[in-house]
Amino acid sequence: MSNKILVTDSLFIFDEHVKRLKNAGYEVARLDKPQATEEELCKAIKDKVGYILGGIEKVTDKVIESTDQLKAIVFTGTAWKGFVLGHGLATKKGIAIANAPHANAGTVAEWTFTSALAMTRNLFTLGRTGDKTFQTTHSLNELRVGIVGLGHIGSRLAELFSSAGAKEVVYWSHSEKQSPFERLELNDLLKTSDIVCSCVSAEAGHGWLDKDKIGLLKNGALLTCLTDDVLNEDDLLEELENGRIRAFLDWTPKVEGYKNLPLDIFYCSNESTAYNTHAANKLASDWVTQSLLNLLSSGKDRYLVNPEYKNT
């Protein structure tokens, strides 16, 4: 049996953790790029017993098929299914999968709060990136904030808005949560909130935030969204071009037309950046290193996401 571990990219996995893996008796092979191709992964994964998915590459069925000794994959984020596309085959092959849930939840909530406040106060138009010199804006204490998805990110975000003095904070989730905030039906939240923060994961489904839902937003509402897969970019663009609502996204849309929108209507990240702080990356690196060592030694870990892998 091999003692080799594959680690992709360099952002999440710190040198101290590579050293820890080596001290545990493993040889670490680095594929230092954020988005390795399927061909590169098929080649790199051979003769590896462990794999830390530290980039944004897609682990397809073809990659899983090329494994010959792999026992465990650990993803450095939460939404592992969007990256380990071959998770069904991996489970059938007896490969354990773990992730680092909510390691970056606080920093993602922090980013969302910051972006919403910046758009509310219209900083991008009133600053040197824009051309306005004076404009009266709203304050949070005038606004209702609706959180769509009250998981780790949504819960922290609700606390941030509440502590900053938002007039009201409400939420929607599939089920009632233990929370000091009021739960509304999704349509009611969308219709009545001044700021709507989408915190649902990719598991909501491709294009879940579509024309029907976006069309319910009240005039002048601000939408923030963290996950590109859940948003129908064409449907949002239509509303933004009408100037009816505003938005801030944590990625650059693929659909043409967004770059022509005025700054007080739309702003976005050049690349997804909400998660990227030193503290969050360090925590993820801590967690995935320990998870991989646990899985390789015992097959068990608290962050294991496919416990049925042993029964196949």
- Cα separation, 20 vs 12, whole angstroms: 15
Residue/partner pairs of 185-193 with CB below 8 Å, 24 or more apart:
186/148, 186/213, 187/216, 189/146, 189/148, 190/146, 190/148, 190/216, 190/217, 191/216, 191/217, 191/218, 192/144, 192/146, 192/218, 193/144, 193/145, 193/146, 193/217, 193/218, 193/221
Question: How far from the centroid of its chain's Cα atoms is residue 294's Cα?
Answer: 25
What tokens does 165 get?
């003095």
Give the number of residues written for the chain: 312
The DSSP call for residue 231 is B
Cα 40 to Cα 30, 32, 35, 43: the distances in Å are 12, 11, 10, 5
pTM of the entire predicted model: 0.87
Structure tokens given for 254: 């693929």
3-state secondary structure of 48: coil
Q: Which two tokens stand for residue 189?
A: 């939240």
pLDDT at 197: 98
* Residue located via tokens 């493993």: 26
Each residue's pLDDT, cut to its tens digit, for the chain (312 residues) gives 789 999 999 888 899 999 999 999 999 999 999 899 999 999 999 999 999 999 989 999 999 999 999 999 999 988 898 899 999 999 999 999 999 998 999 999 999 999 999 999 999 999 999 989 999 999 999 999 999 999 999 999 999 999 999 999 999 998 888 899 999 999 999 999 999 999 998 788 889 999 999 999 999 999 999 988 899 999 999 999 999 999 999 999 999 999 999 999 999 999 888 988 999 999 999 999 999 999 999 999 999 999 999 866
Q: Determine phi and psi for 211, rounding to 5 degrees.
A: -55, -45
d(CA 237, CA 42): 38
* Per-residue pLDDT reduced to its tens digit, 252-277: 999 999 999 999 999 999 988 898 89
- Token pair for 176: 């009632």
In the chain, the domains with their CATH numbers are 4-103+277-311 (3.40.50.720), 105-268 (3.40.50.720)
